[in-house]
């Protein structure tokens, strides 16, 4: 179930009606004491129905801000400077408050990192789930409760009736995250956004949650936008992956292609670093240098200072260019470098 | 000290705060200078000029004994304000120090101390003041001591709560793991961090103190006539309301304005105090470990 | 356990009077039960535990912040559990066992400069002149790879990785013989994580310090540990040499941990089982008291597992394992697969 048996699906293969989310040339600016700085620059990707895309990068790479922009919940001081975000044809950039209220939960669902902080600590979780159903689908109390129980069972929660009446403090992190997922998919949205949803969980629980998300994709045809700093977790779940660095997408394409044959030196570095040591003590790879903080990114190729393959030409901004297997990459030398890939499991 | 003043300076642009600070400063200056700046002798009685209206010699008129109201108002500031300061000092020393220490006592001693303080808080303040004065004689000193003692529980509880929170910090645990004694921890990590809270509590206690001392004076307890004090002036003026309807306004206003200004100042110090480092406040992209805190802070409940 | 062991933890039990624990674990009052392991000088041992395993309690018990209700802890042969007051303080001042906290942001006093933070243990111990103190601070900064200019800064001015190094420097300046690191790398991304792990390894190689790394992620510390102990619900379910454990885990829970980690691999190594083969569906039940703690989640559990808690026995991997079916569960999987 969790093997990557899906064939790679670069966007161009799919018919236009299937296009669910289009992000085009998105730039997000942040107000700082030094002025407005671009934290996300020129990000574009497409997501079709039932597809999953993963946004991967370190802290500060812009993946979270991109995700928040799609959700319409940018933090104070941040705003969309340029670009388009369209969900099923609806323009999300200019959407008003009423519009957001309509599409939230019904078209768009979201789960975040710390489920406990998104739930009322004194109410039973089942009731909170039922409330969402009641409000968004205008059903009666009994119908909502029945649907809530159904959902809890669908999330593979053991003894749904018992869980229904528990308050958040009585449930484990994994169980709470499943409840959040239930809330997110309660009204059959088309797109689920998971923002570091598995980061704080134990490994075994993380695995269960990823498996659950996979199952939801298959059963409900749910599209997923998965944001994480863990490339492996993203690779488990997503058909497409977009690698973020310093606010830009440096590589984007089918997961199997990106992992087995990375086109960008940063992707290769991520693979090297995240790779499990063998039985012998591994070299414990690191990427030299540090991810630039906001406003510190150099002109030209932003990864250049840490890149082992840089040349003089890298002082100019590389455009997104085509690489083999439908992958797009932001690197001038991509074609001539032989970068080492990895396997997933 | 500088740690406290810096954020205060940051707040100065607020007009409200500037006015409050100016008023407090002014009142204390008057209190300090007292008799030096009063135009007339506040004790000089003049039977011929009782209840006189405003004039150049007596800007606020005279009272029932012909004494200049304006001068009495000025000299009345000292017993009202400076003694309030002394009362606060008593409360601080008597409350804050045991408050901090109580956090480090054994469980039984802590329980006992808490119950003593609780018992204290049940005593009705005015009755207590009367009792003290009955025991030690009427005068400014017993009144000040009474108010000071009444302030002790407030300081105790607030400082204790603050210390409890600070004592549960991980860096305190780290120090304990190095074999630090509790005294060391207090000295090194806690007492400096308690100062902002002390400042806030002190300023609000000062307001309560001024009110308290004036109330006692109103009742005839505290500074005895013929010396001037705002509370006593108020009491007398109310007695002679028929003859001089407006007279009571001046001491009343003096008390009200001073207490307001002290409370406003207390509010401002509270807002200005250094807060815990909140990673979520930073607009910069955060390191992975701060990201979780930022998520909670910046994203609204999503339904 | 031989007398040459640096740290010996012997069959400790910890019951916590749960005052503020909103316990998701139901009736189990033992936070730790019968936990035994040892650390030899200069060894790096990984203690793996997920939420609810009791790993933090274990660290705190070894450091004397919690008293075990049974069992004993010995350091260099001397008993260190069950002492308090002045004796404990004097033992701590010796500084032979140091803790590296999980959260560098909260474990450093934000009002103190880095130099003061690092030297705190020395100051509490006392007896150093200013020159020697400065020398030791400089050396500690050097050892953890921080620039000397960091000494004058405050924690708020440093990055997360730098703060983590400061907590390590603070521990190392005491010249300890044992370092206990509570989730030192959980909050870091892969590159920074490896940096810190490398640092720990260098410290061991250069100074001979033994290190206990507590983590919830088995695979992330695989490159640095010599031996591993796996903690589940307060019991050690398996323990042994790292390489062996990874190759052939003897306990189903260890296998589940290894199978659950999503891993990209460039080496030929890959774990051959999938979590579905090891999990049992539909379980949130608490373990029966008296039985194996892993039983509710274990696909291979039989009646005996519910009734009798498995003792620790030598495993085929050369370590110890607490499982009634340790030698059979793999075979039964293969049998099922063959059908």
pLDDT tops 90 at residue A70: yes
Domain-embedded: residue B242: yes
pLDDT digits (tens, 9 = 90+) for C285-320: 667 777 888 888 888 888 888 888 888 898 887 889
Helix, coil or strand: residue A156: coil
With left for phi above 0 and alpha for psi between -120 and 50, is residue C317 left, alpha or beta?
alpha
Q: Into which CATH architecture does domain A17-245 fall?
A: 3-Layer(aba) Sandwich (3.40)
Chain A residues with CB under 8 Å of B300 CB are 73
CA–CA distance, B247 with B236 (Å, rounded to integer): 9
Ramachandran angles phi, psi of C230, nearest 5°: -105, 125
pLDDT digits (tens, 9 = 90+) for B224-260: 777 788 888 888 888 888 888 888 888 889 899 999 9
Ramachandran angles phi, psi of C9, nearest 5°: -105, 120
What single string gives the DSSP state of each residue in C243-310?
HHHHHS-SSHHHHHHHHHS--EESSS------HHHHB-SS--PPPPTTS-TTGGGBTT--HHHHHSPP
Of all residues in chain A, the one with the smallest CA distance to C270 is A345
Chain B residues with CB under 8 Å of A110 CB are 302
Q: How many CB pairs under 8 A join A and C?
A: 143
Alpha-carbon distance B280 to nearest alpha carbon in chain A (angstroms):
10
Interval B271-284 mean pLDDT: 48
Alpha-carbon distance C161 to nearest alpha carbon in chain B (angstroms):
9
Average pLDDT in chain C: 85
With left for phi above 0 and alpha for psi between -120 and 50, is residue C9 left, alpha or beta?
beta
The length of chain A, given as a count of residues: 345
Chain A residues with CB under 8 Å of C285 CB are 158
Helix, coil or strand: residue A304: helix
Chain A residues with CB under 8 Å of B286 CB are 59-60
- Tokens standing for residue A88: 């099923």
Given CB atoms, is B282 within the 8 Å cutoff of chain A? no
pLDDT tops 50 at residue B292: no
Of the listed ranges A83-87, C237-241, C275-279, the least confidently predicted one is C275-279
Alpha-carbon distance B206 to nearest alpha carbon in chain A (angstroms):
38
Interval A327-337 mean pLDDT: 89
CA–CA distance, C199 with B91 (Å, rounded to integer): 52
Query: B201 with B225: CB under 8 angstroms?
Result: no
pLDDT digits (tens, 9 = 90+) for C111-165: 999 999 999 999 999 888 999 999 999 999 999 999 999 999 999 888 878 899 9
Average pLDDT in chain A: 87
Give percent of chain B above pLDDT 70.
85
CA–CA distance, C189 with A231 (Å, rounded to integer): 10
Query: A193 with A70: CB under 8 angstroms?
Result: yes
Q: How many CB pairs under 8 A join B and C?
A: 74
Instruction: Say if the Cβ atoms of A59 and B295 lie within 8 Å.
Output: no
Given CB atoms, is B287 within the 8 Å cutoff of chain C? yes
In the block, tokens 């161009």 appear at A12
- Tokens standing for residue B262: 């002290």
CA–CA distance, C111 with A329 (Å, rounded to integer): 45
Q: Looking at residue B144, which CATH number applies to its domain?
A: 1.10.3720.10
pLDDT tops 70 at residue C268: no
Quote ipTM for the complex.
Answer: 0.84
Give percent of chain C above pLDDT 70.
90
pLDDT tops 70 at residue B281: no
Interval A230-252 mean pLDDT: 92
Instruction: Give the structural domain span for B21.
Output: 2-272
Query: C107 with B174: CB under 8 angstroms?
Result: yes
pLDDT tops 70 at residue B1: no
Alpha-carbon distance A251 to nearest alpha carbon in chain C (angstroms):
18
Per-residue CA distances from B51 to A113, A205, B71, B238, C10 (Å): 75, 86, 15, 13, 91
Query: A66 with A78: CB under 8 angstroms?
Result: no
In the block, tokens 């900064």 appear at C141
Domain-embedded: residue B162: yes
Instruction: Say if the Cβ atoms of B283 and A132 lie within 8 Å.
Output: no
Instruction: Say if the Cβ atoms of B179 and C111 lie within 8 Å.
Output: no
Enumerate the β-bridge partners of residue A36: A31
Instruction: Say if the Cβ atoms of C125 and B178 lie within 8 Å.
Output: yes
Instruction: Say if the Cβ atoms of A59 and B291 lie within 8 Å.
Output: yes
pLDDT tops 50 at residue A108: yes
C217 pLDDT band, cuts 50/70/90, is confident
Interval C27-38 mean pLDDT: 80
pLDDT tops 90 at residue B175: yes
Nearest CB neighbour to C265, from listed A173, A210, A343? A343
pLDDT digits (tens, 9 = 90+) for A153-206: 999 888 899 999 999 998 888 899 999 999 999 989 999 999 999 887 888 888
pLDDT value, residue B303: 19
Cα C90–chain centre separation: 25
pLDDT tops 70 at residue A81: yes
Q: Which residue has the higher pLDDT, A276 or B189?
A: B189
- Tokens standing for residue A270: 């991520």
Confidence (pTM): 0.81
Per-residue CA distances from A112 to A117, A163, B238, C286 (Å): 10, 20, 66, 28
DSSP tag of A280: S
Instruction: Say if the Cβ atoms of C275 and A278 lie within 8 Å.
Output: no
B6 pLDDT band, cuts 50/70/90, is low
Give percent of chain B above pLDDT 90.
17
**Pairing assessment for the beta strands C227-232 and A321-322 based on DSSP bridges:** unpaired
- Of B262, B260, B248, B286, nearest in space to B199 by CA: B262
Chain A residues with CB under 8 Å of B283 CB are 30-32, 75-78, 294
- Tokens standing for residue A52: 């999953």
Alpha-carbon distance C79 to nearest alpha carbon in chain A (angstroms):
33
Total Cβ atoms within 10 A of residue C277? 15
Domain-embedded: residue B88: yes
- Of A190, A206, A227, nearest in space to A108 by CA: A190
Total Cβ atoms within 10 A of residue C90? 12
- Of B235, B162, B232, B226, nearest in space to B197 by CA: B162
pLDDT tops 60 at residue A259: yes
For C198, counting Cβ atoms within 10 Å of its Cβ (0-12 exposed, 13-18 middle, 19+ buried), the class is middle
Interval C63-80 mean pLDDT: 90
Alpha-carbon distance B14 to nearest alpha carbon in chain A (angstroms):
21
- Of C42, C76, C73, nearest in space to C59 by CA: C73
Cα C304–chain centre separation: 30
Instruction: Say if the Cβ atoms of A235 and C198 lie within 8 Å.
Output: no
- Tokens standing for residue B300: 């609204």
Instruction: Say if the Cβ atoms of C188 and B288 lie within 8 Å.
Output: yes
pLDDT value, residue C124: 92
With left for phi above 0 and alpha for psi between -120 and 50, is residue C128 left, alpha or beta?
beta
Peptide bond into C299 cis (omega under 30): no
Looking at the 3D structure of chain B, how many domains does it have?
A: 1
pLDDT tops 70 at residue B283: no
Domain-embedded: residue B302: no
Domains assigned to chain C? 7-16+28-96+176-338 (3.40.50.300), 108-175 (no CATH)
**Per-domain residue ranges for chain A?**
17-245, 248-336
Domain-embedded: residue B41: yes
Domain-embedded: residue B22: yes
**Pairing assessment for the beta strands A343-344 and C264-265 based on DSSP bridges:** antiparallel
Chain A residues with CB under 8 Å of B281 CB are none
Chains in contact with C, where contact means 3 or more Cβ–Cβ distances below 8 Å, are A, B
C229 pLDDT band, cuts 50/70/90, is very high
pLDDT tops 60 at residue A236: yes
């Amino acid at each position: 179930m969790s093997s990557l048996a899906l064939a790679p699906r670069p966007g161009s293969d799919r018919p236009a009606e299937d296009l669910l989310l289009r992000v085009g040339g998105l730039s997000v600016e942040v107000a700082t004491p030094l002025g407005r700085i671009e934290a996300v620059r020129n990000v574009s990707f497409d997501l079709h129905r039932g597809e999953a895309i993963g946004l991967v990068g370190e802290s500060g790479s812009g993946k979270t801000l991109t995700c928040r922009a799609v959700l319409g919940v940018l933090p104070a001081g941040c705003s969309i400077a340029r670009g388009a975000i369209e969900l099923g044809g609806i323009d999300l950039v200019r959407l008003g408050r009423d519009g957001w209220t309509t599409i939230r939960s019904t078209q768009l669902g979201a789960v975040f990192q710390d489920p406990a902080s998104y739930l009322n600590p004194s109410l039973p979780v089942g009731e909170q789930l039922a409330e969402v159903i009641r409000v968004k689908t205008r059903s009666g109390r009994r119908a909502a409760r029945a649907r809530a129980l159904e959902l809890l069972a669908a999330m593979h929660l053991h003894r749904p009736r018992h869980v229904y009446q528990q308050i958040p403090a009585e449930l484990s992190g994994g169980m709470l995250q499943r409840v959040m997922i239930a809330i997110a998919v309660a009204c059959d949205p088309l797109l689920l956004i998971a923002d570091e949803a598995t980061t704080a969980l134990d490994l075994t629980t993380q695995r269960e949650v990823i498996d659950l998300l996979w199952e939801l994709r298959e059963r409900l045809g749910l599209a997923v936008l998965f944001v994480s700093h863990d490339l492996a977790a993203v690779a488990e779940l997503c058909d497409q992956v977009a690698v973020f660095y310093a606010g830009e997408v440096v590589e984007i394409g089918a997961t199997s292609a990106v992992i087995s044959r990375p086109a960008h030196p940063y992707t290769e570095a991520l693979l090297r670093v995240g790779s499990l040591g063998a039985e012998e003590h591994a070299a414990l790879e690191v990427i030299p240098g540090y991810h630039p903080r906001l406003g510190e990114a150099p002109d030209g190729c932003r990864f250049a200072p840490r890149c082992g393959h840089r040349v003089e030409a890298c002082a100019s901004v590389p455009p997104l260019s085509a690489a083999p297997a439908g992958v797009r990459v932001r690197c001038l030398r991509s074609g001539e470098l032989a970068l080492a890939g990895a396997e997933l499991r | 000290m500088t740690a406290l003043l810096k954020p205060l300076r940051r707040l100065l642009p607020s007009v409200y705060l500037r006015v409050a600070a100016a008023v407090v400063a002014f009142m204390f200056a008057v209190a300090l200078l007292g008799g030096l700046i009063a135009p007339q002798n506040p004790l000089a009685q003049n039977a011929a000029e009782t209840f006189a209206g405003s004039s150049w010699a007596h800007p606020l008129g005279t009272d029932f004994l012909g004494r200049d109201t304006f001068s009495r108002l000025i000299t009345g500031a000292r017993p009202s304000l400076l003694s309030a300061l002394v009362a606060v000092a008593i409360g601080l020393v008597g409350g804050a120090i045991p408050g901090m220490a109580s956090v480090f006592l054994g469980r039984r001693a802590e329980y006992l101390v808490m119950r003593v303080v609780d018992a204290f808080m049940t005593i009705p303040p005015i009755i207590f003041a009367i009792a003290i004065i009955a025991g030690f004689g009427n005068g400014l000193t017993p009144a000040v001591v009474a108010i000071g003692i009444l302030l002790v529980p407030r300081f105790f509880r607030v400082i204790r709560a603050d210390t409890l929170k600070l004592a549960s910090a991980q860096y305190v645990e780290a120090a304990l793991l190095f074999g630090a004694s509790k005294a060391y921890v207090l000295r090194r990590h806690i007492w400096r961090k308690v100062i902002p809270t002390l400042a806030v509590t002190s300023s609000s206690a000062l307001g309560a103190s001024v009110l308290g001392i004036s109330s006692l004076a109103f009742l005839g307890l505290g500074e005895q006539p013929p010396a001037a004090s705002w509370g006593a002036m108020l009491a007398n003026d109310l007695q002679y309301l028929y003859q001089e309807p407006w007279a009571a306004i001046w001491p009343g206003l003096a008390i009200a304005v001073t207490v307001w200004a002290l409370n406003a100042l207390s509010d401002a110090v509270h807002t200005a105090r250094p807060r815990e480092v909140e990673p979520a406040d930073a607009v910069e992209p955060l390191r992975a470990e701060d990201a979780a805190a930022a998520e909670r802070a910046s994203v609204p409940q999503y339904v | 356990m031989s007398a040459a062991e640096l740290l010996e933890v012997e069959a400790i039990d910890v019951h916590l009077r749960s005052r503020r624990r909103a316990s998701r674990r139901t009736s189990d009052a033992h936070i730790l039960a019968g936990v035994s392991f040892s650390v030899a000088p200069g060894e790096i041992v990984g203690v793996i535990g997920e939420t609810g395993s009791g790993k933090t309690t274990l660290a705190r018990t070894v450091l004397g912040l919690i008293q075990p209700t049974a069992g004993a802890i010995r350091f260099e042969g001397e008993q260190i559990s069950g002492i308090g007051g002045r004796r404990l303080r004097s033992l701590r001042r010796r500084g032979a066992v140091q803790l590296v906290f999980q959260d560098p942001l909260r474990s450093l006093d934000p009002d103190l400069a880095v130099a003061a933070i690092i030297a705190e243990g020395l100051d509490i111990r006392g007896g150093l002149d200013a020159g020697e103190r400065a020398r030791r601070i400089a050396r500690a900064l050097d050892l953890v790879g921080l620039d000397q200019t960091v000494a004058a800064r405050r924690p708020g001015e440093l990055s997360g990785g730098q703060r983590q190094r400061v907590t390590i420097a603070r521990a190392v300046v005491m010249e300890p013989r044992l370092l206990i690191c509570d989730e030192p790398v959980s909050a870091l991304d892969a590159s920074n994580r490896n940096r810190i792990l490398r640092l720990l390894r260098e410290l061991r190689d250069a100074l001979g310090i033994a290190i206990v790394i507590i983590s919830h992620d088995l695979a992330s510390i695989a490159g640095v540990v010599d031996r591993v102990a796996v903690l589940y619900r307060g019991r050690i379910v398996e323990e042994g040499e790292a390489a062996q454990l990874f190759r052939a885990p003897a306990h189903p829970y260890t296998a589940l941990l290894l199978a659950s980690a999503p891993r990209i691999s460039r080496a030929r190594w890959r774990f051959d089982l999938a979590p579905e083969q090891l999990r049992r569906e539909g379980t949130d039940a608490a373990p029966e008291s008296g039985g194996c703690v892993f039983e509710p989640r274990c696909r291979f559990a039989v009646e005996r597992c519910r009734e009798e808690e498995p003792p620790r026995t030598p495993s085929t991997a050369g370590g110890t394992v607490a499982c009634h079916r340790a030698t059979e569960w793999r075979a039964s999987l293969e049998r099922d697969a063959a059908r």
